[in-house]
Amino acid sequence: NVFPEVIFCQGKTEEQILAIAQRILEGGGSLIATRISETGYKAIKQAYPEAVYHEKARIVSVSRAQTPKMRGPVAVVSAGTSDIPVAEEAAVTAELLGNRVVRIYDVGVAGLHRLVSRRDDLVSSTVIIVVAGMEGALASVVGGLVDRPVIAVPTSVGYGASFGGVAALLTMLNSCASGVTVVNIDNGFGAGYAASIMNRAE
């Protein structure tokens, strides 16, 4: 496997996280731990002082191996302030796997001009990740603007009939723009990882 192994920390005890981290790092690999709490970070930090905490992305990383060569930058686009944790999870994952990442945040469908003004950044990316909650429409709009693979990440942000991200998920699955594929609700890591696999220069 060309990419570092990953620990999904949610629902795991600190002991379990540390045990898996140890196995990975002693095997010579790099470590990415996602959905980690601050106390989880501190536990890893104590054992591995070179561990880095990406707070907004809720990720801890220990980089030891080299990352593969990539074909171009990855753009991460998001709509609302509350979507940023998931967007950062995607962006930091992509960076740790070797991509250069262009962040295009706070561009909503209800204010299209802000998005359109960043069109050049979108066109010059090889893969685009779109993170959006209630505003699931953003993936269609981005997919209509440029001819690039778009990975859509619905977020659980919202209330009422957003049903914890289901509304955004359905919007994205029904996207009328071709080239859009979708990952699980809030799965920023999955989007960052899939973007990296797509972006590898063989």
Using CB under 8 A as the binding rule, the residues of this chain from 109 to 128 that contact a copy of itself are: 109-112, 126
Question: In 3-state terms, what secondary structure has residue 53?
Answer: strand
Separation of CA 43 from chain center: 24
Q: What angle do CA 106, 129, 165 make, to 5 degrees?
A: 75
Q: Considering beta carbons, is residue 2 or 49 the nearer one to a copy of itself?
A: 2
β partners of residue 8 = 34
Four-CA torsion 177, 180, 184, 190, nearest 10 degrees = -150
- Per CB under 8 A, the segment of 36-44, 48-56, 57-65, 106-114 that binds a copy of itself is 106-114
Among 18, 21, 92, 194, the residue binding a copy of itself under the rule CB under 8 A is 194
**Shortest approach of a copy of itself to residue 145 CB, angstroms?**
7
CB of 46 to a copy of itself, least distance (A): 21
Q: Residue 195 belongs to what H/E stretch?
A: helix 188-199
Closest separation in Å from C-beta 136 to a copy of itself? 6
Which residue in the set 48, 53, 105, 163 belongs to the binding site for a copy of itself (CB under 8 A)? 163
Shortest Å distance, C-beta 179 to a copy of itself:
4
CB of 186 to a copy of itself, least distance (A): 5
The residues, ordered by sequence, that sit 6+ positions from 171 with a Cβ below 8 Å of its Cβ are: 136, 137, 139, 140, 154
187 binds a copy of itself per the rule CB under 8 A:
yes
Here's the x/- map for a copy of itself, 5-44, by CB under 8 A: it reads as: -x---xxx---x---x------------------------
Interaction residues for a copy of itself, span 62-101 (CB under 8 A): 71-72, 79-82
Which residue shows structure tokens 């990442």? 101
188 binds a copy of itself (CB under 8 A): no
Contacts of 131 (CB under 8 A, 6+ apart): 76, 77, 78, 79, 83, 86, 87, 90, 153, 155, 188, 191
How many binding residues for a copy of itself (CB under 8 A)?
74
Instruction: Give min distance, CB of 49 to a copy of itself, in A.
Output: 25
Dihedral over Cα of 145, 146, 149, 155: its sign: negative
